[in-house]
Amino acid sequence: MVPEFQHRTVLLDEAVSALVIEGARADGIYVDGTFGRGGHSRKILESLSERGRLIAFDKDPQAIATASTIADPRFEIVHDSFATMAQALQERGIKQVDGVLLDLGISSPQVDDASRGFSFRADGPLDMRMDTTRGISAAEWLASADEQTIGKVVRDYGEERFAVQIAKAIVAGRTIEPITGTRQLAKIVANAVKTREKGKDPATRTFQAIRIFINQELEELEIVLDQAFRQLGQQGRLVVISFHSLEDRIVKQFLASKAKLPQPDRRLPIRAVDLPQPELKLISRVKPSDAEVADNPRARSAIMRVGERLGASGPQAGGQA
């Protein structure tokens, strides 16, 4: 039996208050793109009226099992990637929503459960799939990928400067025996990394990189940002919590591109009233308080960005990028 691992939702109150504007849109339709263990979803449901509705997504079968315990007619869980959001909403006859929340990365239960293979803190099978019912595991990928591909993944997704050395060590190591365990991989990486960042295990960046690649996290993030924005109605909110620089960079650039004022052709005679308007207003950039970080150290790298969909005659873009 898989033990129950606790998850402490990061920026819980801040995210939900930014998503469901108090008193204004309690009757609306909302999307929680990353159900996890349901912290945000439950809080959203508390903020909705009896006419409100929440559609949540998650790839993890254990998250789906947790979601099935929520007996609320306003709530529905979809066992799939949030990158399928547009299709899922269309199948349910939903043309637009009032808000989308994305809490990126992996949850504490996934990290703490050694059988999932996300962490080297305890030995376990090298799996790393968020959806254990689909795709190939990290062990299967490492067994077949060539040295150049492994190096590129570790460099691009882990921002690891020793990516070439790590890839060589992995390929050499698998000729001796299959790489199937988390600590086995961590030991190989540690022997290949010549200098260590203070307070960080030398395998941290490699594990991050392989996990992101196996689950196609950045590619799916780019897909869902565009889909979520298109699904938002006027004044609908997009709230995204990211935990590392690669994710946050994608989110920041996407929001900035939608908040940017289109530049008309200066050679054309256009009245001020006819100038094109931005599609989105930047609302806020929020980080966890010192108290939250002290209570939950895993919150320390979180950044929440909030944008609001504008109509044709919306105000000028403002806020923080």
Same domain, 169 and 232: no
Q: What pLDDT does 274 receive? A: 57
Same domain, 204 and 173: yes
Same domain, 91 and 159: no
Residue 225 lies inside a defined structural domain of this protein: yes
Task: Mark the binding-site residues, compressed into ranges.
Answer: 38-40, 58, 82, 103, 110
Q: How confident is the model at residue 318 (pLDDT cuts 50, 70, 90)?
A: very low
Radius of gyration over alpha carbons of the chain, in Å?
21
CATH of the domain at 202: 1.10.150.170
Q: How confident is the model at residue 3 (pLDDT cuts 50, 70, 90)?
A: very low
Residue 69 lies inside a defined structural domain of this protein: yes
Query: Residue 263: is its pLDDT beyond 70?
Result: no
Domain enclosing residue 71, as ranges: 12-108+217-309
CB atoms within 10 A of CB 41: 27
Q: What pLDDT does 107 receive? A: 83
Q: What pLDDT does 290 receive? A: 95
Separation CA 231–CA 100 (nearest Å): 9
Residue that is last in its domain, among 214, 235, 262: 214
Q: Say whether 101 sits in a helix, a strand or coil.
A: strand
Residue 4 lies inside a defined structural domain of this protein: no
Model confidence over 169-225: pLDDT tens digits? 999 999 999 999 999 999 999 999 987 777 789 999 999 999 999 999 999 999 999
Separation CA 62–CA 110 (nearest Å): 9
Residue that is last in its domain, among 199, 214, 229: 214
Structural domains in the chain (count):
2
Q: In the β-sheet with 303-309, what is the strand arrangement from edge to edge?
A: 75-79, 53-58, 29-32, 97-103, 232-242, 303-309, 280-286
Residue 128 lies inside a defined structural domain of this protein: no
Same domain, 224 and 243: yes
Same domain, 102 and 233: yes
Contact 309, 255 (CB under 8 A): no
Q: What is the DSSP string of 15-73?
A: HHHHHS-TTTSTTSEEEES--TTSHHHHHHHHHS-TT-EEEEEES-HHHHHHHTT---T
Contact 307, 283 (CB under 8 A): yes
Model confidence over 232-249: pLDDT tens digits? 999 999 999 999 999 999
Provide the whole-model pTM: 0.89
Q: What pLDDT does 200 receive? A: 85
Residue 118 lies inside a defined structural domain of this protein: no
Residue 120 lies inside a defined structural domain of this protein: no
Query: Residue 73: is its pLDDT beyond 70?
Result: yes
What is the Cβ-side half-sphere exposure of residue 250, based on CA atoms within 13 angstroms?
Answer: 19
Q: What pLDDT does 315 receive? A: 38
Residue that is last in its domain, among 214, 231, 259: 214
Which residues does residue 280 pair with via DSSP β-bridges, in sequence order?
A: 309
Task: Mark the binding-site residues for S-adenosyl-L-methionine, compressed into ranges.
Answer: 38-40, 58, 82, 103, 110
CATH of the domain at 76: 3.40.50.150
What is the rounded average pLDDT of the residues 112-132? Answer: 93
